[in-house]
Chains A and B, each alone.
Chain A
Amino acid sequence: MKFLKKRIIAVTAVSTILLSNAVFAEDLVLSIGSRGYGAAVGPALESFEAANPDIKVEWLKVSDVPSESRKLYVTSLMARSATPDVFSVDVIWPGEFAQRRWIAPIGEDFTEEELAQFNPSFMEAATVDGKIYGVPLYVDGTQFFYRSDLLEKYDLPVPKTWEEVIASSRTILDGENNPDLSGFVSMWAKIEGLFMNWLSFTYSNGATFFDENGNVTVNSPEAIEATQTMVDMLYKHKIVPESILNMRPDDARTLFQQGRAVFMMVQDFVYAPLSADDSPVKGKFDFTRNPYFAAHPDAPATAMGGFLLAVNANSEHRDAAVKLVKHMTSYESQLAAAVNESKSPGLMNVYDDASMQDNQVLQKFGKAYAAGVVRPSAGTGSAYPKVSDAMQVAITSALHQSKTVEEALNDAQATIEKLLDQ
């Protein structure tokens, strides 16, 4: 009896310790880019831990280059690692990650009202088979930058359409007669950014990636026409330098910053370096939403980028993880990130906040995001990387003129249909 008593006490003691451990010391691992959203993470974690003293969060600082952090996630998620519990996912990942059962559905932890406040194109990207697998942390996207001084010099309006972009480029290039000056630069190297670019062009001509029935329509007449315009800007109108075929976002930014391009379409992160004190184009440039084709004034044209927060499907702290996601994407956190770090919020009503009214730049970015195009990652699921690659190959061969636009897009259509039927 005595022995048994001792044993009971021991077991109780041990289980109490174990239980208290489970209740009081939840250690979450949050993985998020160190620069992109970095400065906003610290304050958000402080307020989270203050409100939830039983949860400790460790911040795993990963690379801001999506392809690099993706490599990290893919290896640990393939091994079904339980950490990181919460991580930032590029807007093109949820479809694939959800299909591979790497991330958990978290839509039911939010109310309908809360969900309705998030950027709709992002929510579309996070919805797979009717379930929501992530909520937006911050958004970015392509913007159209222009040299306001040059437009003024030639008395030209800020272009709204691609037709105007081509005509104004010609006028300015002819007038300046400077061999180092180009009309339009962007990222047309064979990278994900090229696919974003192509979506901006084709959607702004009324094309779509999928039709209403979910059929792939990358070789629609509208898409062919818009792609032909890209090719023509390069070879016929000669307003785009051939080196664009090797340009990444920062290469285009460098040229524009050196005063060697009139127009540029790249992601909004270039705004900061372009407007820095030592920038040669400081005060000489501005930006607007991406142009559309004259026949489609209502078409969306901004290819969206940005990050969502998602919860690891194998996390051992699901509830705490969801709590953290909710906190980091809350109105207060997103407002703080917007006001202090100029990060475009994923919650639409933050833009209307009184303390945001002074931030003209963010307001303008926000407006363009209302005309957003998301990449077809939700619809293509785990095939997305291959679909994007097939598109990059096709667009590249059209831009290099190794195939006609029609051949290239027909080939892409066939490849993607095959990929999605699998």
Chain B
Amino acid sequence: MITLNTLERRTQFVGLGFVTPTFLIIALILIYPVVQSIILSVGQSSVDGFEPYQFVGLKHYAALMVDDRFWRSLSVTLIFTAISIPLELILGVGLALLMNETFRGKGLARLAVLFPWALPTALNALIWRWMYNADYGLFNAVGLESGLISEPMNWLGDETLAMASMVIVSVWKTSSFMALIILAGLQSIPRDLYEAGRMDGMSRWQEFREITLPLLKGSIMVALIIRSMDALRTFELPFSLTDGGPDSATETLSLYAYKVIFEFVEFNAGAAIVVVQFAVIFALSLLYILTLRGKD
């Protein structure tokens, strides 16, 4: 017994030795900026560097609490995430199932699905901005020509339409990323499970519900967490597509923080926004992990 314990301890020790460097690196590149942001957010630094950093407590957070624009950008971010992620998930699962089938031109189809994701977001947004243009854009031209709409729509100039337009671009671009992760999960499901199911007389729908979906849980969780974090941090899309407009209807937290830091040159106030954003993302990721793991 004693020898086994020693062996166990030794194994643990070796294991610890292997993960420690990784943890150290993660701590350096992940925890350091977070700590630094928190320090910035509770202080006041002078831009020209003539005065030293001063601790001011929760002043910047208190200011955020009464800042309409902060609340608006927070709700814009949450609404954007809440609408686009479920759409991307449904579309992503659909695409993954499709790509998992064997059919002619499968390689080509996979390539086509991946294409939107491979394009840089900023470039993407520029192309879409053009297509959305109210006066000479593609959508209005096609819509008017085909009789779908009777007068030109002001896609990016109307508050609700602008949010919808942003969601459409995001779904178009990132559903394929969801699909890719889920496809990997699909391919790891053993074939014989389906064979057994078929022997039991399962329908396609039952197969999907009883076999595919439960075994995909892990991949879906990974896809959801990664994409939600992305969505909560969305910056390039509104930056290039709408610049947060009209009014502040598409101004996400990241875009607002960017404006506070680089345009207003107030990095302490900006850091407070970033820290709140970090807390939201952290809480949401925790929620995902707890709910999805709990059911296993």
A residues sitting closer than 8 Å to B (CB atoms) are 67, 70-71, 74-75, 78, 80, 96, 100-102, 189-191, 241-243, 245-246, 251, 254-255, 258, 260, 382, 385-386, 389, 393, 396-397, 400, 402
Known: A246-B134, A246-B156, A255-B136. A400 touches B48 (CB 8 A): no
Binds A, one of B18-26, B230-238, B258-266: B258-266
Q: Which of A254, A260, A389 contacts B263 (CB 8 A)?
A: A389
A243 touches B134 (CB 8 A): yes
Tell whether B13 is near chain A: CB-to-CB under 8 Å: no
Tell whether B152 is near chain A: CB-to-CB under 8 Å: yes
Tell me the count of chain B residues lying within 8 A, CB to CB, of chain A: 24
A189 touches B245 (CB 8 A): yes
Min C-beta distance of A208 to chain B, whole Å: 25
A396 touches B265 (CB 8 A): no
Given contacts A101-B48, A242-B154, 17 further A-B contacts (CB under 8 A): A67-B263, A78-B47, A96-B265, A100-B48, A100-B265, A189-B243, A243-B157, A245-B154, A245-B157, A251-B133, A251-B135, A255-B135, A385-B264, A386-B264, A393-B247, A397-B247, A402-B247
Residue of B nearest to A78 (CB): B47
B135 touches A80 (CB 8 A): no
Residue of A nearest to B151 (CB): A179
B247 touches A190 (CB 8 A): yes
Instruction: Tell me, in angstroms, the Cα distance from A251 to B137 when the chains sit together.
Output: 11
A396 touches B50 (CB 8 A): no
Tell whether B197 is near chain A: CB-to-CB under 8 Å: no
Instruction: Tell me, in angstroms, the Cα distance from A70 to B258 when the chains sit together.
Output: 13
Question: What would be 16 A-B contacts, judged by CB atoms less than 8 Å apart?
Answer: A67-B263, A70-B263, A71-B262, A74-B262, A80-B48, A100-B265, A190-B246, A191-B243, A243-B157, A246-B134, A254-B135, A382-B47, A385-B265, A389-B259, A397-B247, A402-B247
Tell whether B201 is near chain A: CB-to-CB under 8 Å: no
Instruction: Tell me, in angstroms, the Cα distance from A235 to B264 when the chains sit together.
Output: 33
Q: Which of A78, A246, A393 contacts B157 (CB 8 A)?
A: A246
A254 touches B136 (CB 8 A): yes
Q: Which of A245, A251, A260, A382 contacts B265 (CB 8 A)?
A: A382
A260 touches B135 (CB 8 A): yes
Residue of A nearest to B47 (CB): A100
Q: Which residues of A contact B246 (CB under 8 A)?
A: 189-190, 245-246, 396, 400
Q: Which residues of B contact A397 (CB under 8 A)?
A: 247
B:39-64 near A, CB below 8 Å: 47-50
Residue of B nearest to A246 (CB): B157
Q: Which residues of A contact B259 (CB under 8 A)?
A: 389
Instruction: Tell me, in angstroms, the Cα distance from A371 to B254 when the chains sit together.
Output: 40
Q: Which residues of A contact B47 (CB under 8 A)?
A: 78, 100, 382
Instruction: Tell me, in angstroms, the Cα distance from A74 to B47 when the chains sit together.
Output: 10
Q: Which of B136, B154, B264 contacts A246 (CB 8 A)?
A: B154
Residue of A nearest to B49 (CB): A80
Min C-beta distance of A65 to chain B, whole Å: 12
Min C-beta distance of B151 to chain A, whole Å: 9
Q: Which residues of A contact B247 (CB under 8 A)?
A: 190, 393, 396-397, 400, 402
Instruction: Tell me, in angstroms, the Cα distance from A397 to B154 when the chains sit together.
Output: 17
Instruction: Tell me, in angstroms, the Cα distance from A80 to B49 when the chains sit together.
Output: 8
Q: Which residues of B contact A402 (CB under 8 A)?
A: 247
B:215-250 near A, CB below 8 Å: 243-248
Residue of B nearest to A258 (CB): B136
Residue of A nearest to B258 (CB): A71
Min C-beta distance of A368 to chain B, whole Å: 27
Residue of B nearest to A190 (CB): B245
Q: Which one of B134, B135, B154, B157 has the greatest number of beta carbons of chain A within 10 Å? A: B135
Encode contact with A along B102-140: 1 for CB under 8 Å, 0 otherwise: 000000000000000000000000000000011110000
A385 touches B263 (CB 8 A): yes
Instruction: Tell me, in angstroms, the Cα distance from A67 to B133 when the chains sit together.
Output: 23
Instruction: Tell me, in angstroms, the Cα distance from A245 to B246 when the chains sit together.
Output: 8
Q: Which residues of A contact B262 (CB under 8 A)?
A: 70-71, 74-75
Q: Which residues of A contact B154 (CB under 8 A)?
A: 242-243, 245-246
Q: Which residues of B contact A251 (CB under 8 A)?
A: 133, 135
A242 touches B263 (CB 8 A): no
B265 touches A74 (CB 8 A): yes
Identify the 7 closest CB pairs spanning chains A and B, nearest first: A243-B134, A246-B157, A101-B48, A190-B245, A245-B157, A385-B263, A100-B47
Instruction: Tell me, in angstroms, the Cα distance from A133 to B186 when the chains sit together.
Output: 65
Residue of B nearest to A242 (CB): B154
B265 touches A78 (CB 8 A): yes
Q: Which of A241, A382, A385, A400 contacts B135 (CB 8 A)?
A: A241
Residue of A nearest to B259 (CB): A389
Min C-beta distance of B54 to chain A, whole Å: 16
Instruction: Tell me, in angstroms, the Cα distance from A260 to B264 when the chains sit together.
Output: 37
Residue of B nearest to A75 (CB): B262
Residue of B nearest to A182 (CB): B135
Instruction: Tell me, in angstroms, the Cα distance from A175 to B42 when the chains sit together.
Output: 63
Residue of A nearest to B45 (CB): A78
Q: Which residues of B contact A382 (CB under 8 A)?
A: 47, 265
Min C-beta distance of A254 to chain B, whole Å: 6
Q: Which residues of A contact B265 (CB under 8 A)?
A: 74, 78, 96, 100, 382, 385
Min C-beta distance of A7 to chain B, whole Å: 39
Encode contact with A along B132-161: 1 for CB under 8 Å, 0 otherwise: 011110000000000000001010110100
Q: Which residues of A contact B159 (CB under 8 A)?
A: 400
Q: Which residues of A contact B243 (CB under 8 A)?
A: 189-191
Q: Which residues of B contact A260 (CB under 8 A)?
A: 135
Q: Which residues of A contact B244 (CB under 8 A)?
A: 190
Min C-beta distance of B269 to chain A, whole Å: 11
Encode contact with A along B182-194: 1 for CB under 8 Å, 0 otherwise: 0000000000000
Instruction: Tell me, in angstroms, the Cα distance from A386 to B259 when the chains sit together.
Output: 10
Instruction: Tell me, in angstroms, the Cα distance from A80 to B45 when the chains sit together.
Output: 14
Q: Which residues of B contact A396 (CB under 8 A)?
A: 245-247
Min C-beta distance of A105 to chain B, whole Å: 14
Instruction: Tell me, in angstroms, the Cα distance from A362 to B276 when the chains sit together.
Output: 52
Q: Which residues of A contact B152 (CB under 8 A)?
A: 243
Q: Which residues of A contact B263 (CB under 8 A)?
A: 67, 70, 385, 389
Residue of B nearest to A191 (CB): B243
Instruction: Tell me, in angstroms, the Cα distance from A72 to B49 when the chains sit together.
Output: 18
Instruction: Tell me, in angstroms, the Cα distance from A254 to B264 when the chains sit together.
Output: 31
